[in-house]
Amino acid sequence: MEHKVEGTLLIIGGAEDKDGKCEILKRFIDLAGGEKAYVVVLTTATQEPETAGREYYEIFHGLGAGIVEVLDLDSRKKANHLFTERLMEKATGIFFTGGDQLRITAALGGTTADDALKKAYRRGAVIAGTSAGASVMSNTMIVEGDSSQAPKLNTIKMAPGLGLLKEVVIDQHFAQRGRTGRLLSAVAHNPYILGVGIDEDTAILVYPDARLEIIGSQTVTFLEGRHMAFSNVSEHSPGQALAVGNMILHVLPKGFGFDLNTRKPTRFQEEKGENNENHRNQAH
Amino acid sequence: MEHKVEGTLLIIGGAEDKDGKCEILKRFIDLAGGEKAYVVVLTTATQEPETAGREYYEIFHGLGAGIVEVLDLDSRKKANHLFTERLMEKATGIFFTGGDQLRITAALGGTTADDALKKAYRRGAVIAGTSAGASVMSNTMIVEGDSSQAPKLNTIKMAPGLGLLKEVVIDQHFAQRGRTGRLLSAVAHNPYILGVGIDEDTAILVYPDARLEIIGSQTVTFLEGRHMAFSNVSEHSPGQALAVGNMILHVLPKGFGFDLNTRKPTRFQEEKGENNENHRNQAH
């Protein structure tokens, strides 16, 4: 068994429903323990931490969370504070808001909060993130890349992420911002990495057995580069258009899943209730 | 030998360079015979035929075309006029401007102008079109489809095109308008059809041997559905998100080509001059 995933992740493509059925956020609270949940909201990514913090505080309470703490880790000093570490130790769910992914990694990377986050993840706390908070989940994250132009060799910028999910690169607001080109470019840089483009109000729920479930109203795009026939990413000609041959693409909505071990789409039963034991048992 | 292509087509993704090197439009004039060219510009697609007509008239003259005629075929009556037929008979190059693709097919379909167009195509006149003028080239064309949302089963509308290019569906302004979802949806409806998404200022030049060459500054996306593992297009649930598994994708810039017979990307030598005999000789 490979250890691509060590806990449960909820990775949201941004703009999740916050005043309707709240399918995705409700799932987060349920997975975190419902009325027994101890949720920590990290507003590090955003430049408006008070607004974002207050919003999620109210939503999570409204969805039945037991305890909700909002933590604005806007400095490495705060991220190394004993108080932060203690809070992370108690958490059953940790939620990263949107904003700028580099704010998260720059403030948290290598701090005691980062360690505590990974410990929480391994002991079973659900780690969730939306938008920028989704991008940081993987080893390598996309930080910049022009969406509206054809993919060019030099327009995509990547940086190390938090590394909770391996061999994957996440992009968010995917269909809404026309980001196929930049995800394609990211995968072409290392075809071993699976590209995962998550639409708005859509999420992947990654289980410890490396199977994932798609939830929400839109779709998730998977770009598989391992069978890529050729690309021109190693040719350094600034502004040159990208060439890739034989990339495999899957577009999947709710009701489908994906197995990160076999790298194949799967059907996912739409179950009532929150019992996901069934899926875990199907893993190999 | 299959007869997917019967002449030479220049299919442009819209917004082609009109005041710089004019790579694409220059190629059109050269292929049409340069100073011996007899070019007919059809402004049928646009609601501003005078502006579009004048613009292309000046550009094509500037690029060395011998004769340029602008024809505003805005009615079936005009499209059935003997004058139109005679003009088409003399043409060495016919150019469709952008606008609304349904205006073209509704005005031309089944008229004597339509017949004359196809005759011109078979006897070697270059048929070119940009934007809406590109979409009409294939048997089936996309007339509507939301770009900025995830592909949904009911958001794409298709209609019969002029049918010059078979087994292909064209989309234009591709990367610029984030149209991966709608092209994917079109291909999923009949995976035998090859999806071809052309970026702005980019074109495919289709030769009679069914090989095509990519020219211009951006890229062309090919979606191959023949190995599609599954889709949900036959499930009729309005607004449901699209599911497709195992679509093959190629993104190719200038220097590459594609063989419509084998459905494989090819390298295309960037040659000096306009002699394309070499490519034709390579066909099988």
Residue B227 is a catalytic residue: no
pLDDT at B156 over 90: no
CA distance A284 to A264: 13
Check residue A237 and give its pLDDT: 72
Contact B175 A148 (CB under 8 A): yes
Asked if A148 reaches chain B (Cβ–Cβ under 8 Å), the answer is: yes
User: So what's the pLDDT on residue B6?
Assistant: 86
Dist. CA B14–CA B23, nearest whole Å: 13
What is the nearest CA distance from B253 to chain A, expressed in angstroms?
A: 6
Active site residue A217: no
pLDDT digits (tens, 9 = 90+) for B79-118: 999 999 999 999 999 999 999 999 999 999 999 999 999 9
pLDDT of residue A258: 97
pLDDT above 80: residue B153: no
pLDDT attached to residue A5: 84
pLDDT at A219 over 80: yes
pLDDT of residue A4: 73
Q: How far is A17 from chain B, CA to nearest CA, in Å?
A: 15
Nearest to B250 among A218, A246, A251 (CB): A246
Q: What is the mean pLDDT of the segment spanning B17-30?
A: 97
Q: Which of A94-98, A233-237, B251-255 has the lowest mean pLDDT?
A: A233-237
Is residue A15's pLDDT more than 90?
yes
Q: What mean pLDDT value characterizes chain A?
A: 90
- Confirm or reject contact between A235 and chain B (CB < 8 A): no
Tell me if residue B3 is catalytic. no
Sketch out chain B's domains with CATH numbers. Answer: 9-283 (3.40.50.880)
The residue ranking higher by pLDDT, B129 or A148, is B129
**Residue B222, pLDDT score:** 98
Q: Is A276 helix (H, G, I), strand (E, B) or coil?
A: coil
CA distance to A148, A227, B93, B97, B216, per residue, from B20 (Å)? 21, 39, 22, 19, 12
A240 — pLDDT class (breaks 50, 70, 90): confident
DSSP structural state of residue A192: T
Predicted TM-score (pTM) of the model is 0.87
Range scoring the smallest mean pLDDT among A85-89, A177-181, A211-215, B256-260: A177-181
Q: What is the pLDDT at residue A282? A: 38
Query: Which of A91-105, A205-219, A252-266, B234-248 has the weakest average pLDDT?
Result: B234-248
pLDDT band at B33 (very low <50, low <70, confident <90, very high): very high
ipTM reported for the complex, 2 dp? 0.81
